[in-house]
Structure 1
Amino acid sequence: MTQPPKPPDRAERVSLWQYMRLFRHDILSAQPAKLYRAWMAEFRTPFFRSYLANDPALVRKVLKERPRDFPKSDRVGEGLRPILGKSVFLTNGALWERQRRIIDPAFEGGRLRDSFDAIWQASEAAAARIAAQAGHEVEIEAEASHAAADVIFRTLFSIPIDHRIADQTYHAFRRYQRTQPILNIAAFIPLPRWMPRGFRRGTRESAAEIRTLIHGLTDARQSEIDTGTAPDDLATKIMTTADPETGDIFDVDEMVDQVAIFFLAGHETSASSLAWSLYLLALFPEWQDKVAEEAQQLDTPDFAVMSKLKVTRDVFRETLRLYPPVPMMVRETTQPEVFRKRDIPLRAQVVISPWHIHRHNRMWEDPDGFDPGRWYTENGRYCAREAYLPFSAGRRVCPGAGFAMLEGVLMLAHILKEHRVVLTQRPAPVPVAHLTVRAQNGIWLRIVRR
């Protein structure tokens, strides 16, 4: 039976030395096999204790019931701060709450419908770009990255990706993505501020270039807002929304931090999911045919068509299960805790891992298999509630989750409406974690006109 690719299985137990050696290659490759059936696991280093929490009750406690007691760990921020600064992805406490009060209104109510035309246009552009390569093998991750970046620029700044600054930002981000893992050495060893953080060559330079480009876009938008000529897009909405408690708005520097995470969350994660979706549909052509049949309903940019793309939505949901773009989330205890009758110390790291939870063999039926129809089974409905968190959960759920689902489904339908993706003779892609779950050597597919 064909199974989607995953990293090679590791031994039941992996020593700290083995883990660190494997981690330098890729965090997914370092995971021992037992973690896919464990409710909880402890990882000890000389500097801290880390606890993997797969138990749905623990996940609820950390993400939903008591989120203030489990803030984001700064061990993640150590690796991402050069590009994200003090973005909402990294902050905690009062600062985070203020940021979300300003950001959330941009993603509420009818905003998804308002952005539909821009996402439709980006989807048509992506389909045309891929169609132009019919008959050839295409590195589909690069195409997915291009398409996802186009969506970000159109919805956030009302410019297509072929705009000069958009194009420069996109290519700088591509360079950054391949040099930056989810965690760096500072996540494992507490380092004083003056010590190097172990960034790979070029990481800081790419981050600085990206932030300079974003600053230019944001500064220009502030000028348009001041003169009353700004388009009604996400950037304008966020930059003109006042905190309902204080009346404050984001200044340009604060907005740069937020745009950086919108680009990371909205571009990186969407690109990852779209590329893996296309690969899975090439691997399972019977499901690809169902998506293509649905896609024939795409005639004009009408938001109502989304309700007709049910199979496509299920395919995308299943892709997010198998290849969650952000495979691990790290929280920190602010007081001693008891998890499953085990004492957890202050400042311990609590890892919520969609990668393990989505493939947990004590919760999911056929956890490593590709089955978009599972969502209508009793097990699928239970796991959708208790063991599925591609966008996190609780107070810190991704505000752009609805945008991501709309984009992914619409992109798949447009691309496959008139063309088929077919496997090549190259080896199957191996998932690895950079900023998101990507393929080690890319994903190559042949494009064939239907």
Structure 2
Amino acid sequence: MIPPKPPAAPKGGGVLRLARAFRRDLLSALPAHLYHARMAEFRSPLIHSFFCNDPALVRLVLSERPADFPKSNRLREGLAPLLGRSVFVTNGAEWQFQRRIIDPAFAGGRLHLIFPAMRAAADAALTRLPEGEQDIEPECSHAAADIIFRTLFSLPIEHETASRVFHAFRAHQDAQPVVNPAALIPWPRWLPRLHSHQTRRTAREIRGLIADMVNRRMQAIRNGTAPDDLATRIMTTPDPETGRCFTAAEMTDQVAIFFLAGHETSAAALAWSLWLLAANPEWQARIAAEADAAGPLTSFSDLSALRLTRNTFREAMRLYPPVPMMVRQVTKPEILRDRPAKPGAQIVLSPWHLHRHDRIWPDPDSFDPERWDRPDNRQPARNAYIPFSAGPRVCPGAGFAMAEGVLMLALIARNFHLSPGAEPPIPLARLTTRGKNGIRITLKRRNTAAN
């Protein structure tokens, strides 16, 4: 079974066609030769971009010289109303200050401290999941949001504020196009950005709710009554170089990206993983058997027994990377595969194309979790697998996301029989890689005493 992927666009058409197509979907806007080319250059009077699928170039940009290729300011155009000056969009000294505070909270040794909250959210999701055919994306989104709120603020999704943030975020995603015009066309700073009224309204609502939670937590910290969760740890961690902690406004920016990255991307990865298991019953049976043998899965160390489940989740993120593209900017004259790149040119790194590149991966479009145990996969896995980015800007929550995804996948496979819906999903890239008309599967509860 070859998992679905969207049709590629014809070559040519110019910047206006590309801009229109990007506002609908990033994936189908790009031509098929990107699955084979090591680099493709796109030049117009308004934009100059290089799509880089050469592992050596990816390593250069992300790991070897990341300071010379900062995140593009154009990336921030569409996300600014929600994310402000969060760690996802900043560069240089500002970004370094933010990471020095954030990284310790997500260090691998601390995951076991938040695992009970993660497991409680998973149990709640198992109780909520209905039987029958359904779009699994909203259920995955609900579960991922619950995990974020429980681990970050010790609040279940049923809490009024958490529920309001969750529903406002779904409205924001529906209102927000993939690409703002200022991301494609050089736009003077003094000109207003063309965000819709609904985009601005939902961003204000989300940020207002988050700011209220942050302010209440700061007061609890001052009173000595704050729970020992991720929010408290981040808000009480001083920068080791300056001794300064996040202000309330800075923490509001960070919580916004934690919610976006930790909720939306995790939900997308889990939904595609479940559909791939539904479409591959032999793998579904193996994952369910592995989960049964692993025991109660009530401690973080139990996840080490879920090797097949981890490989399945990794394979799902290879085929359907939650963040399909990343954009960096050239800051000084460069030569990229014998082609000159001037300052201001855009470097597009596409996990979607890199993970399916036919010069890098054996049988790239097939679902094959066993590839992660074969010698022929070692080099692609090391050089061409970047679902969480790579280098200094690798996602600080990568370990968190892997633990969450493996746990949820194992528990759902252990408790439910999965089968694909009537229509296969069509991948579409908005903020994350989603199903154009949802991701439909049928759930039937298993007769099992274990959860």
Which category of TM-score, normalised to the shorter sequence, fits these structures? over 0.9
Shift of 1:421: 1.6
1:393 alignment counterpart: 390
Shift of 1:276: 0.5
Shift of 1:196: 4.0
Contact 1:269–1:436 (CA under 8 A) maintained in structure 2:
yes
2:173 alignment counterpart: 177
1:356 alignment counterpart: 353
- The one-letter code of the counterpart of 2:202 is S
2:58 maps to 1:59? yes
1:72 alignment counterpart: 71
SS at match of 1:277: helix
Q: How big is each residue's C-alpha offset from its partner over 1:293-341, in whole Å with a ceiling of 9 and x where there is no partner? A: 1121342512221111111100100011011111111111110001111
SS at match of 2:82: helix
2:15 maps to 1:16? yes
Contact 1:326–1:437 (CA under 8 A) maintained in structure 2:
yes
Structure 2 distance, partners of 1:182, 1:34, is 22
Distance 1:174 1:287, change over 3 A: same
Contact 2:24–2:178 (CA under 8 A) maintained in structure 1:
no
Which of residues 256, 263, 278 in structure 2 aligns to 1:282? 278
Contact 1:181–1:433 (CA under 8 A) maintained in structure 2:
no
SS at match of 1:202: helix
Shift of 1:424: 2.1
Superposed, which structure 2 residues align to 1:249-260 within 5 Å?
249-260=245-256
Shift of 1:45: 2.4
Superposed, which structure 2 residues align to 1:1-12 within 5 Å?
2-12=1-11
2:404 alignment counterpart: 407
- The one-letter code of the counterpart of 2:358 is N
Structure 1 distance, partners of 2:348, 2:307, is 33
- The one-letter code of the counterpart of 2:445 is R
2:189 maps to 1:193? yes
Contact 1:40–1:53 (CA under 8 A) maintained in structure 2:
yes
Structure 1 distance, partners of 2:89, 2:9, is 31
Contact 2:112–2:299 (CA under 8 A) maintained in structure 1:
no
Structure 2 distance, partners of 1:380, 1:316, is 16
1:446 alignment counterpart: 442
Structure 1 distance, partners of 2:319, 2:297, is 32
Which of residues 415, 427, 430 in structure 2 aligns to 1:431? 427
2:393 maps to 1:380? no
2:323 maps to 1:326? yes
SS at match of 1:7: coil
Unaligned runs of 5+ in 2: 447-451
Give the fraction of aligned pairs with identical amino acids, expressed as a percent. Answer: 58
Structure 2 distance, partners of 1:441, 1:51, is 31
- The one-letter code of the counterpart of 1:354 is P
Shift of 1:195: 3.3
- The one-letter code of the counterpart of 1:346 is P
2:208 maps to 1:209? no
Structure 2 distance, partners of 1:295, 1:256, is 38
Contact 1:119–1:151 (CA under 8 A) maintained in structure 2:
yes
Unaligned runs of 5+ in 1: none
SS at match of 1:195: coil
SS at match of 2:274: helix
Structure 2 distance, partners of 1:379, 1:257, is 42
Name the TM-score, length of structure 2 as normaliser.
0.96
2:157 maps to 1:161? yes
Relative to structure 2, which stretch is displaced further, 296-305 or 323-332? 296-305
Q: How big is each residue's C-alpha offset from its partner over 1:222-269, in whole Å with a ceiling of 9 and x where there is no partner? A: 000000110111000000000111100001110000000000100010
2:33 alignment counterpart: 34
Structure 2 distance, partners of 1:73, 1:300, is 41
Shift of 1:380: 1.3
Distance 1:16 1:192, change over 3 A: closer
Shift of 1:192: 2.4
Q: How big is each residue's C-alpha offset from its partner over 1:319-375, in whole Å with a ceiling of 9 and x where there is no partner? A: 110111111111111100011111111111111110110010100011111000011
2:302 maps to 1:305? yes
Contact 1:273–1:325 (CA under 8 A) maintained in structure 2:
yes
Contact 2:148–2:263 (CA under 8 A) maintained in structure 1:
yes
Aligned length in residues: 445
2:265 alignment counterpart: 269
Q: How big is each residue's C-alpha offset from its partner over 1:419-447, in whole Å with a ceiling of 9 and x where there is no partner? A: 1121122x211111111111111112111
SS at match of 1:338: strand
Contact 1:295–1:309 (CA under 8 A) maintained in structure 2:
yes
SS at match of 1:331: strand
